[in-house]
Amino acid sequence: MNIKKSKKSMSFMPYVLFLIVILGTYLFLNTMSTNVHEFNYTELTTQINNGNVTELAVTPKSAAGVYEITGKLDGYGKGESFKVTVPYTDTVISSLYDIAEQQNLKVETNTNPENSTWLSILINFVPIIIFGVLIYMMFIKLGNNGKGTFDFGKSKAKLAEDGGTKTFKDVAGLKEEKEEVQELIDFLKNPKKFTKMGARIPKGVLLVGPPGTGKTLLAKAVAGEAKVPFFYISGSDFVELFVGVGASRVRDMFKQAKQTAPCLIFIDEIDAVGRERGTGLGGGHDEREQTLNQLLSEMDGFGENEGIIIIAATNRPDVLDPALLRPGRFDRQVTVNRPDVKEREEILKVHAKNKILADNVHLKFIAERTPGYSGADLENLLNEAALLAVRRNKEAITMDEIDEASDRVLMGPAKTSRKVTEYEKKIVAYHEAGHAVSGIILPNGEEVHKITIIPRGMAGGYTQMLPKEERTLVYTKNELEEQIITLLSGRASEEYYLDEVSTGASDDLKRATKIARSMVTEYGMSSLGPMQFEHRSESVFLGRDYNQTKNFSDQVALLIDQEVKKIIDDCYKEAKKIISKEKKLIEVLANELITKETLTKEEIERLVEENSDYKIEHKEEMKKEENKEEQEEPKEVKTTSKKSNKVTKEVEEEPEE
């Protein structure tokens, strides 16, 4: 669709202001000039004879037919002088020279300034012109991206006429989310099909989800699929210093959208302008609230905005104004969650298209090892791996780079230059070995994939443990208790084998206490019964815990503390039992860590089978499942090419949905 934009002439106000500034500057310079006294020739000769003249200068001006005589008298202040104009004759000047010679007064004779007219103009007027140009440019910058001085109220929404180049093929995963927004695309392509049935398409769709899950990318894909004009703007672009500017920009944005309807408007981070009105310790924010009022009116007020669909994105739906979320405005909320293992594999395939992967890199294994990663995290993971491969002068990205990139994303770069004493190494080694053994022994424990005592970020070492099955919704009481046991096993190992405790367990204690308190106050998993005593604070404008309500007495608070302590004590006792029972395994793991500093999953499983009665029962089952999958599914063939820098696709691609 070709859209012709009307070109408006620049406002005349900047030129008026420019002239006012120039005039004011000229008057200011005149008032700052020297104080000049006008004398006649007789008064001048009298002052010279009386010896009052201290300075004297003669300047011939042949064009005017006069001599200009300037100087100073005794007692004149700074910037004060006199001026005498006499006819352009040699007789007058000769007489003046004679009188001055009698009084021993030195006379300075200047050259005729007619030959330096341009220099005089340059000295007097060029600084004024430069100053005026600077003032003019300053006023221009006050405008909206150079469009004009008083274009504050113009919309900052940018227009992509063809809807952009992104489509659903560029958005991996998000199957249900795509189905939710598919109706918008069908309506923009064929609105009569819906109006004939009497259906009303949603006026607004709110995309809600954690950062990096693909909300903005999904909105771009909707516009690309529909092939309609696509306006995009950030919520912060509405709010300005001056009250009323944001509301004016909202009006202008909808005015432009009406001219190009049907179209899409995408507002990113809408919580910047859509926060609940009248909240906060200091009251409301007048400019932001006026902007929100105008947005509410434009979306569902007296005016009709047919063919305009608004898509907004936020990761803070809890702070939005209720009027913004009611039907008729944002009719539909689409939750964009973090991807599961299958979706992570699809996302990795999209981001691996332009990267050279070695034969030992399997995207399915990477997807299984990255639970909780968002799409942005996965893209960053492969990018970090590519940077590491280039830094190491490798021709392809191997699993070594993937592992290192994963550690860098989670914990930060390794502190290889940091000097660690042998005693610190020993403490960290026994601490991490304690975590690993509990994760291995407990029936609902997580799989241990890696143990390292190399410092990263603020941690002296860490144990990478991943769930056997990806869980996001429900946890049982036993599973939560086993999480606490695993967290406390590091401290228990230090105390049992080194007869000492360190500050390295502070984060473990914090997380364990938080889980235990949630079990008592939120989940009803204690002897106090199925009651909820605390809930997450909803007063986000006052701070997350500033205005937390207390719905129980001091006696109940004491019982809560006792229950939390009981859970922690019982779990700590269980952790000590595991640590004492698997003494041989912990000693071996700790010694291996002190020697190698890092242990992989295969090395850990080998040490467990050689030094413990515990057998990894799921290991044989996993091998059988892998062999079964290899027989049923075609193998993934990957080749590298220096010319194309691409990885060949799978032999059989999945059909498009």
Q: What positions carry a catalytic annotation?
A: 432
The torsion of the CA quartet 495, 499, 503, 508, rounded to 10 degrees, works out to -10
Residue pair 438/573 in contact (Cβ under 8 Å)? The answer is no
Measure the CA–CA gap between 184 and 174, rounded to whole angstroms.
Answer: 16
179, burial (CB in 10 Å: exposed 0-12, middle 13-18, buried 19+): exposed
Strand, helix or coil for residue 38: strand
Q: Which of 272, 306, 269, 312 is nearest to 292 (CA)?
A: 272
DSSP state, residue 198: T
State yes or no: cis peptide before 262, omega within 30 of 0: yes
Backbone angles phi, psi at 538, to 5 degrees: -95, -5
Residue 171 identity (one-letter amino acid)? V
Half-sphere exposure of 400 (CA within 13 A, CB side): 8
Residue 578's CB is within 10 A of a number of other CB atoms, namely: 20
Measure the CA–CA gap between 344 and 364, rounded to whole angstroms.
Answer: 8
Residue ranges of E strands in 492-582? none
Structure tokens at 378: 């996965």
Q: Which of 257, 230, 259 is nearest to 159 (CA)?
A: 230
CA distances (Å), origin 249, targets 48, 151, 294, 400, 589: 73, 10, 9, 51, 64
Measure the CA–CA gap between 542 and 115, rounded to whole angstroms.
Answer: 75
12, burial (CB in 10 Å: exposed 0-12, middle 13-18, buried 19+): exposed
DSSP state, residue 397: B
Measure the CA–CA gap between 481 and 519, rounded to whole angstroms.
Answer: 9
Measure the CA–CA gap between 549 and 534, rounded to whole angstroms.
Answer: 8
H or E segment and range at residue 599:
strand 598-600
Structure tokens at 610: 């050689």
Structure tokens at 514: 């938080």
Half-sphere exposure of 557 (CA within 13 A, CB side): 6
- Cα R_g (the chain), whole angstroms: 40
Measure the CA–CA gap between 550 and 533, rounded to whole angstroms.
Answer: 8
Q: Which of 582, 325, 372, 380 is nearest to 467 (CA)?
A: 372
DSSP 414-475: B-TTS---HHHHHHHHHHHHHHHHHHHHSTTPPEEEEEE-S-BTTBS-EEEEE-SS---S--
Backbone angles phi, psi at 315, to 5 degrees: -110, 15
Q: Which of 278, 289, 304 is nearest to 244 (CA)?
A: 289
- Angle of the 506-521 helix axis to the 554-581 helix axis, nearest 10: 130
Measure the CA–CA gap between 71 and 37, rounded to whole angstroms.
Answer: 10
Structure tokens at 62: 């042949």
Measure the CA–CA gap between 381 and 402, rounded to whole angstroms.
Answer: 7
